[in-house]
C-alpha cells in the first residue's frame, strides 16, 4: 500500500450534550467511510465537549464519556477513528484520545502539554502525561494501553500531538518521527483569535516537512460553551505542502476535510534526508494492530484553498463578522432563547450589535436555507410562518429606542432607520417620566434637588439606569435575550453605567475597541461581507460623533471629550495592559506615536486612563459574558486578571513628571 485517504472532522459540540455530541461524531465517521477514508481524526475532548470546566471533576462525566466511547466503537469498522475524551487513572484526570479500529479500542494517548494561559485552564482539571511513560487501564473490563503511544496499524504508523503539544518548542512530533511515524494527528480545541490562523498553518505545514510525514489537524467549530469561539479550519499537509484545508466559521454542525497522501513517497523522502536521525530502538509505547486499509481513491480536496472571503481586502472585518454571527447563532440556539432584544441608542455600539444580529440571519439563511434555519432553531415556534430574511429578523430581533429630553432627533431617526433597514421590530419609548420620578423620590429622601453643577455623574447615570427596567421587561415578556452594547475601549476606563448600558445577558462586542467598531461600520455601510453585501442605511450612524447623550444637549457632550481620542485610549490600553509598560515608558511611546498632541496633554491622558482603569476593575468583573475574539482582551473571565483593589500606580504616575 502506498497511498492512504486521511480525513479531519470539525464538530460543533456542546459541553455535556451526550446524545448531541455522539450524533455529530457518528455522522462525521459515516461520512468518512463513504469517502473511503482510512483514518478520521476528530477534535480534542469532543465526546464531553472541551468547555466542561469544573464539571470535569464530577465522577459521572468520566463514566458517561466511556459509555459514549463504547457506543461509538462499532462505527469504526473498516477505518481508524480517533476521538477525544477525559480519562481517570491513578486518581488523576488526563486529556486523552482514544484510537478505534475495526470496532476495537486499541489504546488511549494522553496529552503531554496542557494549555494553562489566557483563556485556558487545563491544569485546573488535568494532569500532564510524561514522555515515554506507558501503562494500561481497564475499559469495559479489558486492559488497554494508555500513555505515550505510537500505533502501527496495518503497517502504517500513526502518532499524536494533541493541540498544545504542537505549540511548544519541544514538540512530540520529533520523537514520533524518529520512530517512523507516517501520519501525525492533531485533535484540537483551538479557540478563535485574530491572527491565530497563520500560526496554525505554520505548525501544520512545518510539522509535516520537519517530521517527514502527513499531518492532520482537526478542530472544534462554533460557540461551544458561551465565550470561546472555535473556527474549525481543518488542515491536512504532507511533506511541507498544505494539500487540503476546510472552511472556517461555518454554520454546519460538522464538516469533513479529506485528502489522499502518498505514504511511500514520504518514507523515501525521509530516507534521502541527510539530517534525519532515526531512533535505533523501538518506541516504548508501540501498539501493533492488523488492519486492511481500504483502497484509497484520489480524493480531490473540496477546500484545498481558503474560502474566497479569506482573500478579502477587509479580512479583519470579514473575520469579525463571521466569528460574531456564528457565536450569536450558537448562543441563541444553545440557550434556547426566542431571540434578542437591544436597547438601540442610535449610536455606533448598538448599531453594530443590531447589524450583527441581522447578518447572523442572512448568513444562516445563505448556508442552511430557510428549512435548515428553522430546524436548527426548532425551539422558536414564531419562525414557522417566516418566509424571508426580513420576516426572520422581525421575529428574532426587537429593538427599543429609549429617549429622554437629552436625546437628539438624530439618534432617534438613526435607530428607526437602521431597524427598518434590517427588518427589526422597533419601538420608541420616552423614559423622561421615569427619570423625573426617580429624581423626585431621591430628592425628597435627601432633602435637596440634584443639579448639573454639583451632581453631574448621578444625573447622567440615572438616565441610563432608568432604561433598564422597561427593556428587561420586554425581554422577559418575549422570552428573548437582552444584549448589552458596551465595547472594549469603554470597558477599559469604566465609561459605562452599571445596570444601565451594561444590562444584558450577553455582551458580544465587549472585546472590540471603539476605533475598530467605527471602521467596521464604515466598511459595512460601503461594501460589507462577501456574498451578503452592504447596509447603506448605516450612513446615519457613521457620520455621527460618539456621544452618550446624557447631559443637556446644550453641553454638546462627546465621548472623546469626556475621555480622550479613542485611538490614543486604545494605544495606551495596549501599552499598559498588554505590554505592562510603566506610565513613563508609555509617555515616551505616545510622544512618538502621536506627535500632534503636546506631551503635557498625553501625560494627562495617561494619568486619566491609569486612574480609571484601576478604579473600574469591579465593572469589568460584572460585565455580561463576552465573546473571546482577541488574545489581548480585557475580560477577567478569560484573559486579563487585575485586582479589584490596588494602589492605583500613584508612584508610577509621579515618575512621569509634572
**What would the 3-class secondary structure string for 478-511 be?**
HCCEEECCCCHHHHHHCCCCCCCCCCCCECCCCC
CA nearest neighbour of 505 among 533, 468, 538, 531: 468
- The pLDDT confidence band at residue 358, using thresholds 50, 70 and 90, is very high
User: 195 with 211: CB under 8 angstroms?
Assistant: no
Q: Where are the domains of the chain?
A: 3-305, 312-559, 564-658
User: 338 with 479: CB under 8 angstroms?
Assistant: yes
- Max Cα separation, the chain? 91
Is pLDDT of 245 > 50? yes
Q: What is the pLDDT of residue 303?
A: 46
Enumerate the β-bridge partners of residue 99: 82, 107
Q: What is the mean pLDDT of the chain?
A: 94
CA nearest neighbour of 323 among 230, 257, 396: 230
Pairing of strands 3-11, 254-262: antiparallel
What does the alpha-carbon distance between residue 408 and residue 415 come to, in Å, rounded to a whole number?
11
279 — alpha (psi -120 to 50), left (phi > 0) or beta? beta
User: 449 with 440: CB under 8 angstroms?
Assistant: no
Q: What is the pLDDT of residue 306?
A: 63
Is pLDDT of 302 > 60? no
Is pLDDT of 117 > 90? no
pLDDT tens for each residue of 513-558: 999 999 999 999 999 999 899 999 999 999 988 888 888 988 888 9
Is pLDDT of 223 > 70? yes
HEC states along 51-101? HHHHHHHCHHHHHHHHHHHHHHHHHHCCCEEEEEEEEEECCEEEEEEEEEE
Give phi and psi for 181, each to the nearest 5. Answer: -65, 130
Give whole-number Cα distances, 649 to 192, 465, 582, in Å: 33, 31, 9
pLDDT average, residue stretch 295-319? 75
Is pLDDT of 305 > 70? no
**Full-prediction pTM beyond 0.85?**
yes
pLDDT average, residue stretch 44-72? 97
Please calculate the CA angle 484-393-549 and round it to the nearest 5 degrees. Answer: 35
Cell numbers 464539571: residue: 55
Is pLDDT of 428 > 60? yes
Lowest mean pLDDT among 274-283, 410-419, 579-588: 274-283
pLDDT tens for each residue of 162-212: 999 999 999 999 999 999 999 999 999 999 999 999 999 999 999 999 999
Residues 6+ apart with CB under 8 A from 510: 484, 486, 487, 488, 491, 623, 624, 626, 627, 635
What does the alpha-carbon distance between residue 617 and residue 599 come to, in Å, rounded to a whole number?
27
226 — alpha (psi -120 to 50), left (phi > 0) or beta? left
Give phi and psi for 635, each to the nearest 5. Answer: -70, 115
- State the CATH class of domain 312-559: alpha beta
DSSP annotation of 525 reads H
CATH number assigned to the domain covering 3-305:
3.60.110.10
pLDDT tens for each residue of 248-268: 999 999 999 999 999 988 888
Q: What is the pLDDT of residue 553?
A: 87
Amino acid at each position: 500500500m502506498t497511498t492512504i485517504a486521511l480525513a479531519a472532522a470539525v464538530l460543533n459540540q456542546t459541553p455535556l450534550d451526550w446524545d448531541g455530541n455522539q450524533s455529530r461524531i457518528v455522522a462525521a465517521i459515516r461520512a468518512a467511510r463513504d469517502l473511503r477514508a482510512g483514518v478520521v481524526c476528530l477534535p480534542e475532548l469532543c465526546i464531553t465537549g472541551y468547555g466542561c470546566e469544573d464539571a470535569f471533576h464530577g465522577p459521572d462525566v468520566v463514566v458517561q464519556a466511556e459509555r459514549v466511547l463504547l457506543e461509538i466503537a462499532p462505527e469504526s469498522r473498516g477505518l481508524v477513528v480517533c476521538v477525544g475524551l477525559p480519562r481517570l487513572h491513578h486518581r488523576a484526570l488526563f486529556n486523552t484520545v482514544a484510537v478505534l479500529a475495526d470496532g476495537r479500542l486499541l489504546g488511549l494517548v494522553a496529552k503531554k502539554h496542557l494549555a494553562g494561559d489566557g483563556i485556558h485552564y487545563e491544569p485546573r482539571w488535568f494532569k500532564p502525561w510524561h514522555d515515554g511513560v506507558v501503562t494500561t487501564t481497564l475499559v469495559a473490563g479489558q486492559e488497554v494501553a494508555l500513555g505515550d503511544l505510537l500505533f502501527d496499524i496495518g503497517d502504517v504508523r500513526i502518532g499524536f500531538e494533541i493541540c498544545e503539544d504542537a505549540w511548544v518548542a519541544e514538540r512530540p512530533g520529533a520523537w514520533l518521527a524518529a520512530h517512523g511515524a507516517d501520519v501525525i494527528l492533531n485533535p484540537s480545541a483551538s479557540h478563535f483569535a485574530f491572527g491565530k490562523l497563520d500560526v496554525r498553518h505554520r505548525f501544520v505545514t512545518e510539522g509535516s516537512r520537519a517530521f517527514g510525514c502527513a499531518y492532520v489537524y482537526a478542530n472544534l467549530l462554533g460557540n461551544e460553551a458561551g465565550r470561546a469561539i472555535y473556527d474549525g479550519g481543518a488542515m491536512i499537509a504532507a511533506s511541507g505542502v498544505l494539500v487540503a484545508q476546510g472552511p472556517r466559521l461555518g454554520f454546519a454542525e460538522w464538516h469533513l476535510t479529506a485528502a489522499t497522501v502518498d505514504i511511500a513517497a514520504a518514507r523515501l523522502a525521509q530516507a534521502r534526508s541527510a539530517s534525519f536521525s532515526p531512533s535505533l530502538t523501538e518506541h516504548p509505547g508501540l501498539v501493533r494492530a492488523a488492519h486492511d486499509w481500504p483502497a484509497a481513491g484520489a480524493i480531490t480536496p473540496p477546500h484545498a484553498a481558503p474560502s474566497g472571503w479569506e482573500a478579502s481586502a477587509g479580512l479583519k472585518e470579514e473575520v469579525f463578522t463571521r466569528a460574531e454571527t456564528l457565536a450569536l447563532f450558537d448562543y441563541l440556539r444553545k440557550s434556547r432563547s426566542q431571540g434578542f432584544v437591544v436597547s438601540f441608542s442610535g449610536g455606533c455600539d448598538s448599531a453594530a450589535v443590531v447589524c450583527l444580529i441581522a447578518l447572523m440571519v442572512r448568513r444562516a439563511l445563505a448556508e442552511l436555507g430557510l428549512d435548515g434555519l428553522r430546524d436548527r432553531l426548532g425551539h422558536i415556534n414564531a419562525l414557522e410562518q417566516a418566509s424571508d430574511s426580513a420576516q426572520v429578523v422581525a421575529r428574532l430581533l426587537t429593538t427599543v429606542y429609549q429617549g429622554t429630553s437629552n436625546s437628539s432627533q438624530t439618534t432617534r431617526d438613526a435607530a428607526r432607520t437602521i431597524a427598518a433597514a434590517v427588518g427589526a421590530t422597533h419601538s420608541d419609548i420616552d423614559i423622561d417620566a421615569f427619570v423625573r420620578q426617580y429624581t423626585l423620590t431621591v430628592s425628597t429622601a435627601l432633602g435637596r434637588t440634584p443639579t448639573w453643577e454639583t451632581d453631574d455623574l448621578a444625573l447622567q447615570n440615572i438616565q441610563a439606569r432608568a432604561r433598564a427596567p422597561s427593556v428587561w421587561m420586554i425581554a422577559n415578556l418575549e422570552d428573548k435575550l437582552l444584549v448589552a452594547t458596551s465595547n472594549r475601549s469603554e470597558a477599559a476606563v469604566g465609561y459605562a453605567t452599571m445596570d444601565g448600558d451594561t444590562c444584558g445577558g450577553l455582551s458580544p462586542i465587549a472585546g472590540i475597541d471603539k476605533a475598530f467598531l467605527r471602521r467596521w461600520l464604515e466598511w459595512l455601510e460601503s461594501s460589507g461581507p462577501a456574498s451578503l453585501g452592504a447596509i447603506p442605511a448605516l450612513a446615519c450612524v457613521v457620520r455621527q460623533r460618539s456621544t452618550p447623550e446624557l447631559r443637556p444637549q446644550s453641553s454638546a457632550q462627546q465621548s472623546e471629550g469626556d475621555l480622550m481620542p479613542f485611538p490614543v485610549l486604545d494605544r495606551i490600553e495596549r501599552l499598559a495592559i498588554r505590554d505592562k509598560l510603566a506610565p513613563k515608558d508609555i509617555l515616551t511611546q505616545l510622544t512618538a506615536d502621536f506627535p500632534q498632541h503636546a506631551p503635557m496633554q498625553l501625560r494627562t491622558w495617561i494619568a486619566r486612563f491609569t486612574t480609571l482603569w484601576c478604579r473600574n476593575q469591579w465593572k469589568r468583573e460584572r460585565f455580561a459574558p463576552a465573546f473571546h475574539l482577541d488574545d489581548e482582551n480585557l475580560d477577567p473571565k478569560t484573559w486579563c486578571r487585575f485586582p479589584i483593589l490596588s494602589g492605583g500606580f500613584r508612584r508610577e504616575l509621579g515618575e512621569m513628571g509634572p
